[in-house]
Amino acid sequence: MEITRDLKNHKVQLSENAIALVKKICRRFNYEEGELINILHAVQSQFGYLPAEIQELIAKELDISVAKVYGVVTFYSFFTMKPKGKYPISLCMGTACYVRGAENILNEIKRQLNIDEGETTPDGLFSLSSLRCVGACGLAPVLMVGEKVYGRVAQADVRKIISEYKAGCPTHPSKE
């Protein structure tokens, strides 16, 4: 949404529309402190992430300290303060995927994209995160790009999947 980023100073400029939207969400939850997590869910689903400026705004609206908001944001892994890539790649690191070789896949992605977990490629195309069990253990190891699930991924598939997204025309995920 309407966020302009000043990369040099790591500052984020919120547009008036963006500010209005955050305020609207806070109002929808009656400015209740107990609804903080739900508010953060709603705001993150709009903006994709929760930069410090948005957290300050929420704190002001709910009349609580920024530290409290920040404390909650950093406590839960679902919330992120960094924008995700256009194609967020998440790799399942649940035990079932782990014993079926997820770690090798993770290393291969890191190598291909030259980023670490929690980072985004400089062109903004890909971000990488690992998650705990998507519940598709029959397909282990599982890799997700956005909502798309790739099952039984082999190390050699990684380059192929990434290049498909780079070309902008990801093929169908069904593999067998």
What is the Cα–Cα distance from 109 to 89, expressed in whole angstroms? 9
DSSP characters for 32-48?
-GGGHHHHHHHHHHHHS
Give the torsion sign (CA, 31, 36, 42, 43): positive
What is the Cα–Cα distance from 9 to 137, expressed in whole angstroms? 43
Q: Name, in order, each residue with C-beta under 8 angstroms of 131's C-beta and a sequence gap of 6 or more.
A: 90, 91, 92, 93, 144
Can residue 71 be called a binding residue for another protein (CB under 8 A)?
yes
Is 169 assigned a ligand-binding role in the annotation?
A: no
Is 92 assigned a ligand-binding role in the annotation?
A: yes
User: Site for another protein (CB under 8 A): which residue of 49, 59, 79, 119?
Assistant: 79
The window from 11-19, 81-89, 129-137, 161-169 that contacts another protein (CB under 8 A) reads 129-137
Is 26 assigned a ligand-binding role in the annotation?
A: no
User: Site for another protein (CB under 8 A): which residue of 17, 124, 135, 160?
Assistant: 135
Can residue 170 be called a binding residue for another protein (CB under 8 A)?
no
CB of 45 to another protein, least distance (A): 10
CB of 161 to another protein, least distance (A): 15
> Of residues 16-55, which lie at the interface with another protein (CB under 8 A)?
32-38, 40-41
Would you list which residues are annotated within the binding site for [2Fe-2S] cluster? 92, 97, 133, 137
